[in-house]
Amino acid sequence: MSEIAQPSPIAVPLGAVRPLLRNWRRHVPLMLVAPLLIYMLVLYALPVLAMLLRSLNDPTWTLSHYTALFEDVVFAKTFWITFNTSVIVTLGCLILGYPVAMGLVRAKTMAPLILVVILLPFWTSVLVRSYAWMVLLGRHGLINEGLLALGMIDRPMRILNTSLATQIAMIHILLPYMILPIANALRQIDPSLLRAASGLGATPFMTFRQVILPLSMSGVAAGTLLTFVLALGFYITPAMVGGPRDITLSMLIAQEVDQLNWAYAATLSAVLLATALGILAAARHLPGVGNAFRMSMR
Amino acid sequence: MNRTDRGASVSLAELEKRYDRVNAVDGVSLDIHSGEFLTLLGPSGSGKTSTLMMIAGFETPTAGDIAIDGTSVVAMPPYRRNIGMVFQNYALFPHLTVEENIGFPLKQRGVPKAERARLVAEALELVHLPGYGERYPRQLSGGQQQRVAVARAVVFKPRLLLMDEPLGALDKQLRENLQLEMRRLHADLGITFIYVTHDQEEALTMSDRIAVMNDGKVAQVGSPEDLYDRPSDRFVAGFIGESNFLPAIVRGMEDDVVITECDGALIRAMCPGRPASGDRVTLTTRPERLRFADSAWNATTPQNRLSVTVTEAVFAGERCRYMLQATDGTSMVLKEPSSAAIRRRAIGERAEISWSVADTILV
């Protein structure tokens, strides 16, 4: 019986090599990810590192590029605009996204439809969506024409190429990143908890405030973080629909690259990257976010 | 204050819950007395949980009425009904401590903080968990979580407590302990308990009255003794305890005892109705109430007798269990208390069995 169960056809001559073979098997997972790992390392991580180094060794080893930022008015203003836009967009996504997440979780037969409506723009390129917003928000765009037709305004409003346009378009593009983590957290709330709350005397509003909201905070934290960090690096949308003076960090970087000002562009990139990583690292220690990280690992 | 002042009376009238084309609850009428421990007992799908959910207000009846203390509550949302409820999976709030969980219903009622703390401590005392207030539900065992759920359901002094298979997820030993504790709690609080279970032993142990449900209807309501000794139909006889079923033909009546012919013998049975002569009926009797006629057994009450063959004999410690076959092929079970003084029967042996007429019911 036991002889039949032995699954090794090369057992006898290779007896000595066997431990090695076992080792080889243990490294299979690593070997499976190796091609992508090498690809990422050579074509992405190394160039990024080389680029970031330029902020330190162009033309010689120096920290002057960074110290210069402290007196750089353009940088300060750009950084503020970027940060401010990200905060507004994130809040907008949260306010608009939370109810949608609740609707998505509560809807029974409509849920797949709602999900498709949320994800449809997700599958369209950011460039196309930004162009679409240009069409909608323009002087003779759908919104202005509509409001004119309804008699609510006398002449077309200037929406396109303002910071409002940036915010509207970015909220639209980033909404799924807010909705999906929140919906995920809401879906994990045991429905019997809501019944229990109601049976114990909590009105629907009190149930929301004392049970649903606190139990969905992990999703809110994850969605907020994701949206905010993505918003920090937005380039195409603010460049296309934003105001001429509303320059974000990524636009500034692109501008400097155009002018072959590599060291300055590299310094700005390093600051942007450090800000995003810093926020992620700090947020990891918030209780709700820690949970969200662990949950997304599962 | 006497017991009846503290408990609510509940009245279900022709209650019905229809899902698509299935009637989960199909015309249930039931009066639950103030301060009573009533159990809804039935197999899964019998409508017992749906009935409880309608009383709690989580489900809306498609027809019929629910009155608590004489007032219809059908249109009232659950959070206004003031009913305590213990769920099968406890439904403790995972983000709140034990104290906050128990304080939850008090908070909704605007009870001031100090008063809340006092009542929570009292409730923890009641379920034997003092000192556990700071912990989170996940830090407690299943049995402890169950106690917290009970404490939370009674802390606001409701007049009615609903329990949906609250002991279902616990092991046997713990379940038996908690059954006794529930009984004690019921006696202490004096409020009305409506308890849902599929476990007939649990129902018999704990309840003042049991409503046996089947197919969305109440099959029989009565005390545990009523249901066990005088089941009204074959379903109740089979669902509660073990029963033998004997096919018989009615031959006549003698006061309230019906005389039937079964396997060539005349068998007398208790019968509430008046079946006509010649009717084909089923008699039921409990295995532990049958005896071998030749063993040392001095019966003073009227007895039925039947000839059988032993087909199986199992010694189970405290008792012996015999499978018997009557000459017409009907199989029966007989349970005999074990004793070194009683002769064990062999398989294939022919024997005469006897049992009391009072233990024979026509269903």
Q: What is the pLDDT of residue A289?
A: 57
Q: What is the pLDDT of residues A241-266, one digit of tens each?
A: 998 888 999 999 999 999 988 899 99
Reported for B321-325, long-range contacts at CB under 8 A and 24+ positions apart, including other chains, are B321/B287, B324/B351, B324/B353
Confidence of residue A15 (pLDDT cuts 50, 70, 90): low
Mean pLDDT computed over A113-137: 88
| CB of B184 less than 8 A from some CB of A | no
**Best residue in A108, A186, A194, A200 to probe B by mutation, most B CBs within 10 Å?**
A200
Strand partners, B217: B214
Q: What is the pLDDT of residue B317?
A: 87
Written as one string, the DSSP assignment of A196-229 is: HHHHTT--HHHHIIIIIHHHHHHHHHHHHHHHHH
Q: Tally Cβ neighbours within 10 Å of residue A131.
A: 14
Q: What is the pLDDT of residue A3?
A: 47
| Contact residues, chain A, for B83 at CB < 8 Å | 199
Query: Distance from B355 to chain A by nearest Cα, in Å?
Result: 50
Q: Given A195, A200, A214, which is nearest B104 (Cβ)?
A: A200
| CB of A206 less than 8 A from some CB of B | yes
d(CA B362, CA B270): 6
Q: Where is B71: in which H helix or E strand?
A: strand B71-72
Query: Distance from A210 to chain B by nearest Cα, in Å?
Result: 9
| Contact residues, chain A, for B82 at CB < 8 Å | 201
Q: What is the pLDDT of residues A189-205, one digit of tens each?
A: 999 999 999 999 999 99
Q: What is the pLDDT of residue A14?
A: 57
Q: What is the pLDDT of residue A16?
A: 64
Is pLDDT above 60 for A9? no
Q: What is the pLDDT of residue A298?
A: 38
| CB of B152 less than 8 A from some CB of A | yes
Between A64 and B56, the higher pLDDT residue:
B56
| B306 token code pair | 């039947």
Please determine, for the modelled complex, whether the ipTM score is greater than 0.85.
no
Contacts with B346 (C-beta within 8 Å, 6 or more apart), sequence order: B310, B313
Mean pLDDT computed over A221-230: 93
CB contact under 8 A, A202 and B89: no
Nearest chain B residue to A201 by CA: give it.
Answer: B79
Q: What is the pLDDT of residue A290?
A: 54
Q: Given A199, A202, A206, which is nearest B83 (Cβ)?
A: A199
d(CA B210, CA B221): 6
Q: Given A190, A201, A210, which is nearest B91 (Cβ)?
A: A190
Q: Where is B66: in which H helix or E strand?
A: strand B63-68
| A232 token code pair | 């920090």
Nearest chain A residue to B88 by CA: give it.
Answer: A192
- Beta B192-197 vs B160-164: how paired, if at all? parallel
Q: What number does CATH give the domain A93-298?
A: 1.10.3720.10
Query: Distance from A116 to chain B by nearest Cα, in Å?
Result: 28
> HEC states along B279-336?
CEEEEEECHHHCEECCCCCCCCCCEEEEEEEEEEEEECCCEEEEEEEECCCCEEEEEE
Q: What is the pLDDT of residue A21?
A: 66
CB contact under 8 A, A195 and B87: yes
- Beta B280-285 vs B244-254: how paired, if at all? antiparallel
How many residue contacts between A and B have a Cβ separation below 8 Å? Answer: 62
| CB of B140 less than 8 A from some CB of A | no
Q: Given A193, A198, A211, which is nearest B78 (Cβ)?
A: A198
Contacts with A273 (C-beta within 8 Å, 6 or more apart), sequence order: A52
CATH topology for the B3-237 domain: Rossmann fold (3.40.50)
Confidence of residue A13 (pLDDT cuts 50, 70, 90): low
| CB of A211 less than 8 A from some CB of B | yes
CA distances from B182 to B103, B126, B140, B148 (A): 21, 11, 19, 13
Q: What is the pLDDT of residue A17?
A: 64
| CB of B156 less than 8 A from some CB of A | yes
Where do the domains of chain A lie?
Answer: 93-298
Q: What is the pLDDT of residue A18?
A: 65
Between A294 and B145, the higher pLDDT residue:
B145
CB contact under 8 A, B85 and A199: yes
Written as one string, the DSSP assignment of A70-133 is: TT-HHHHHHHHHHHHHHHHHHHHHHHHHHHHHHHHHH-SSSHHHHHHHHHTGGGS-HHHHHHHH
Indicate the CATH number of B245-362 among 3.40.50.970, 2.40.50.140, 3.40.50.620, 2.40.10.10. Answer: 2.40.50.140
Where do the domains of chain B lie?
Answer: 3-237, 245-362
| CB of A214 less than 8 A from some CB of B | yes
Residue A261's SS3 state is coil
Under-50 pLDDT residues of chain B: 1-4
| Contact residues, chain B, for A196 at CB < 8 Å | 85, 87, 91-93
Amino acid at A166: T
Mean pLDDT computed over A286-292: 57
Nearest chain A residue to B55 by CA: give it.
Answer: A199
| CB of B195 less than 8 A from some CB of A | no
Mean pLDDT computed over A28-34: 89
Q: What is the pLDDT of residues A163-196, one digit of tens each?
A: 999 999 999 999 999 999 999 999 999 999 999 9
Q: What is the pLDDT of residue B65?
A: 96
> HEC states along B180-238?
HHHHHHHHHHCCEEEEEECCHHHHHHHCCEEEEEECCEEEEEECHHHHHHCCCCHHHHH
Nearest chain B residue to A214 by CA: give it.
Answer: B95
* Cα Rg of chain A (Å, integer): 26
